Amino acid sequence: MFNFEFYNPTKIVFGTDTIAKLDQLVPADARVLILLGGESARKNGTLAEVRAALGAREVHEFNGIEPNPSYETLMGAVELIRKEKLDYLLAVGGGSVIDGTKFVAAAVPFDGEPWDILITHGRNVKAAMPFGTVLTLPATGSEMNEGSVITRKATHSKLAFMSAHVFPQFSILDPTKTLTLPTRQIANGVVDAYVHTIEQYLTYPANGMVQDRFAEGLLLSLIEIGPKVLANPNDYDLRANLMWVATQALNGLIGAGVPQDWSTHMLGHELTALYDIDHARTLAIVLPASLNVRREGKRAKLLQYAERVWNITEGTDDARIDAAIAKTAAFFEAMGIQTRLSDYDLATEAVDAVVNQLEKHGMTQLGEGQDVDLNVSRQILTAAL
């Protein structure tokens, strides 16, 4: 196992009727900005509950953070906070609203052009405003981590930043608030959490016994929960388990002390920025092709994954690896998510376009071995056609 430091200061408040706890979680004298996506939180009553819990505090709203939150939109919130001298942020929504809030929190006190936060991937963040979140979509883990992904529409750049300053102070996870999610978003959440786990597990052996077993537990839970949550959309326990799995998949725990990949995400971000494909769908396109192309470097872990997650024990090594990759793609397809570029009407021009963008963004040495160069990325994308 590698040396590591693990730090996660986010308080989780989990369960039904927990939004009322905002009254104790947000400072009594806070001047609050609630940040929101489109209409969902207003329509399903979540926003009204949040406002009621905040009581007599001064509360402003910033609406319209879009899926794949944009720098262009978020700078409007930065301006509002500076003008109204607000001092506490509350994200109410999915990963996009939370990621957007993290960027705003870091941008307000930032000295200089805030896009530099993304260019340096967060290394130059020295401070951030305090904030909490009310999660409405289990998927990204953003509610309990220090990462954020922001898009600059003008240049089709979707870049991530990380900073310990942008851990949420608290996150409220009330599974009943996810009951209004459309099927498409539930499926996206299952697949995103699955790929987060894979990015931290399916690399090369590092004797992280706890990390491996924990990751396998998350994968097995998602394989069990995924189809059931689609078939039983009103089942509270399924929603609760999905929500907790998705948080655990990317709160730093399973990735501590082990190698991490993340190349599937980096290729996926370019696909979203260029073609506006949902984040999870880009991962479902890239992952099976990537495992296939990179099977030598990942051989030992692929065999472990085949046996412990898919119970595949018969056949040659390569046959077991083939079967595990096929099972992975079939799982995504069973969630209603297609796994080939051609399913999204993309052909070879898209391969060239994504490789060009990867080069422009310096994504030329990706993966746990930093061996996913532009040539390997091209092979992966070509295999995904």
Tell me which residues touch ligand NZQ (CB under 6 A). Answer: 37-41, 44, 67-68, 93-97, 99, 136-137, 139-142, 145, 147-149, 177-178, 180-181, 185, 188, 192, 250, 265, 279
Binding mask 139-178 for Zn ion (x = CB under 5 A): ----------------------------------------
- Tell me whether residue 142 or residue 211 sits nearer to ligand NZQ (CB atom): 142
Residue that the structure tokens 């929960």 belong to: 225
- How far apart CA 186 and CA 192 sit, in angstroms, is 10
Residues within window 347-366 making contact with Zn ion, judged by CB under 5 A: none
- Interior CA angle at 242 toward 221 and 313, to 5°? 15
Contact region for Zn ion (CB under 5 A) — 37-45, 109-117, 187-195, 269-277?
187-195
Q: Hey, is 110 helix, strand or coil?
A: coil
- Tell me whether residue 155 or residue 382 sits nearer to ligand NZQ (CB atom): 155
Contact partner, 248, from Zn ion, ligand NZQ, none, Cβ < 5-8 Å per class: none
199 binds Zn ion (CB under 5 A): no
Cβ–Cβ contacts within 10 Å for residue 23, how many?
Answer: 13
Shortest Å, Cβ 177 to ligand NZQ: 6
- How far apart CA 360 and CA 364 sit, in angstroms, is 9
- Tell me whether residue 31 or residue 156 sits nearer to ligand NZQ (CB atom): 156
Query: What would the two tokens of residue 257 be?
Result: 């002390």
- Tell me whether residue 174 or residue 192 sits nearer to Zn ion (CB atom): 192
Residues composing the chain: 385
Shortest Å, Cβ 120 to ligand NZQ: 17
Find residue 160's DSSP bridge partners: 149
Residue 83's H or E segment, with its range, is: helix 71-84
Please give the single-letter amino acid code of residue 58.
E
- Interior CA angle at 25 toward 21 and 29, to 5°? 120
Contact partner, 136, from ligand NZQ, Zn ion, none, Cβ < 5-8 Å per class: ligand NZQ
Residue of 49, 143, 146, 192 that binds Zn ion (CB under 5 A): 192
Contact partner, 185, from Zn ion, ligand NZQ, none, Cβ < 5-8 Å per class: ligand NZQ
- Tell me whether residue 135 or residue 312 sits nearer to ligand NZQ (CB atom): 135
Please give the single-letter amino acid code of residue 125.
V
Q: Residue 221 half-sphere exposure, CB side, CA atoms within 13 Å?
A: 21
Contact partner, 148, from ligand NZQ, Zn ion, none, Cβ < 5-8 Å per class: ligand NZQ
- How far apart CA 26 and CA 128 sit, in angstroms, is 16
- How far apart CA 315 and CA 307 sit, in angstroms, is 11
- Tell me whether residue 41 or residue 191 sits nearer to Zn ion (CB atom): 191
Which residues contribute to the site for Zn ion (CB under 5 A)? 192
